[in-house]
Amino acid sequence: MNYRHAYHAGNFADVLKHVVLLALIDALKAKPTPFAVIDTHAGAGCYALEGKEAEKTGEWREGIGRLLFPDVGPHASAGGALPPLLRHWLDSLLAVPGNEPGLKFYPGSPLQVAMALREGDAAQLCELHPEEATRLRERLHGDRRMHVHQRDGYEALKALLPPPQKRGLVLIDPPYEAQEAEYRLIEQALKGALLRWPTGIYAVWYPIKQRSQVQPFLRWLGHCGAHRVLRAELLVHGDDSPLRLNGSGMAILNAPWKLDEALREPLRALARLLSQDHAAEWRLDWLAEEGAPAAPRPAPLPRSHGRR
Ligand X SMILES: C[S@@+](CC[C@H](N)C(=O)[O-])C[C@H]1O[C@@H](n2cnc3c(N)ncnc32)[C@H](O)[C@@H]1O
Q: In angstroms, what is the C-alpha Rg of the chain? A: 18
Of the candidates 39, 173, 239, 260, the residue annotated as catalytic is 173
Query: Quick check: is 173 catalytic?
Result: yes
**Separation of first and last alpha carbons in the chain:** 41
Using CB under 6 A as the criterion, what x/- string covers residues 96-135 for binding ligand X?
------------xx----------------xxxx--x---
- Please tell me the distance from the alpha carbon of residue 273 to that of residue 80, in angstroms, as a whole number: 10
- Number of neighbouring beta carbons within 10 Å of residue 276: 14
- Please tell me the distance from the alpha carbon of residue 146 to that of residue 123, in angstroms, as a whole number: 5
153 part of the interface to ligand X, by CB under 6 A: yes
Nearest to ligand X of 128, 288 (CB atom)? 128
Nearest to ligand X of 168, 174 (CB atom)? 174
- Please tell me the distance from the alpha carbon of residue 95 to that of residue 82, in angstroms, as a whole number: 18
- Number of neighbouring beta carbons within 10 Å of residue 197: 22
CB-CB contact of 68 with 100 (8 Å): no
Nearest to ligand X of 135, 228 (CB atom)? 135
Q: Which single residue brings its beta carbon nearest to ligand X?
A: 108
Nearest to ligand X of 125, 269 (CB atom)? 125
Q: Which stretch binds ligand X (CB under 6 A): 171-179, 213-221, 248-256, 270-278?
A: 171-179
CB-CB contact of 25 with 117 (8 Å): yes
How many residues bind to ligand X according to rule CB under 6 A? 19
User: Which residues of this chain interact with ligand X, rule CB under 6 A?
Assistant: 3, 5, 17, 41-43, 108-109, 126-129, 132, 152-154, 173-175
By annotation, the residues acting in catalysis are 173
